[in-house]
Structure 1
């Protein structure tokens, strides 16, 4: 991570060896991500979900309960489910069926993906109608250089296992973000912080791209060399984790004790 200077290191992703403590740390950050998304206006009824792979049993994962506002979520609200979609721990309540299909397929196919975020955000929905990635036209869009995928086979609400599999095939082995045509955005990461920051950045990038398209002027695309260099500096897991911390810590401050960093 090259963000910091001045002779002092900025703390990055903590090294937590106790897997049960790591589980709690992840759940706290997951709850914080939901509150950030609520503040940024990504709520849309019962749509939208974040999943986090369980460090104790990596064949299972945690997801948000169905029908609870993102801005109210706490670590204790999260639901622990297995690969068959059965609730096995945590908050024993119903979950979003489409959310399970999408996230279970990703976690099974991509061992490197420990967290995934999908919201029905406004700019993401708007840009998804084009069925194409964003252009690399500013420094922030370089975060997505070489890692964008498109799933252009919208077949309605995702409730069938086969559609989840097709989505995973579109994401591929190295994709980090995917545009679900006529649907919205989905981002992934090694931590929920990384996936959540990529989502907020991609949503804003879609918003900027829509403004650029509306202007109708000639676009200047950043060169592959400059985009690759910028992505190498700004889009590594440690830097993306760090980029999310100001928003997360603001939610901790606002929560009056409901959220914590989870570092024990």
Structure 2
């Protein structure tokens, strides 16, 4: 891969991973619309590890509490905020892992990687995000997160396996629909991304382990570093912006892009 291609992929992944606009959709569109070769799974793993580092650093206090709570959780105790958070994050991750395995085994994951699917998902789930954001309540905060809510949001997260849906967008939609404030809906969504990215990274890493060489390692290191910085800036931007505006700007972008993609797909 050329350096330009690596930088482009890393920037797209870093900027779009946590914004509700679908990073996977954009990465699939890149070769389809530009003629560039697919970046391959090794680079996919690298850029996901970069974004993982960004979200862990940004929400370190919560991540640290969950890590410290794991030993208590392993003994069956959920009597601290950290152990409870760790438990709920695990619960919220189960649906997407199960759904991902089904799609992988049936081959449906590859069948959905089309411009038409991404266009419809961008459009439809963008409108669903707008509806939930406008009409959802704003009475709950992160401390109100329950087993029921974690499971429901986990099911919403599984829907994000449809390219163009956006993992962050659909989990924010679920949280807003459950009555969480915009800021806490986004925060829960970001925290839910951590075990999901780890699980995805492990599965992809196993598949590409045999491809490792010096060139792949070098390209991966560059991609991870760039996606880390880009994701950190994108996270900071979104969390600050939510103090003043709604998710409507992202919805407008999704609808606009979705219509363009549908026009392209059916022309």
Normalising by the smaller structure, the TM-score range is 0.3 to 0.5
Q: What TM-score do you get using the length of structure 1 for normalisation?
A: 0.36
Structure number with higher strand proportion: 1
Structure number with higher helix proportion: 2
Q: What TM-score do you get using the length of structure 2 for normalisation?
A: 0.35
Of structures 1 and 2, the one with the larger relative CO (CA 8 A, separation 6+) is 2
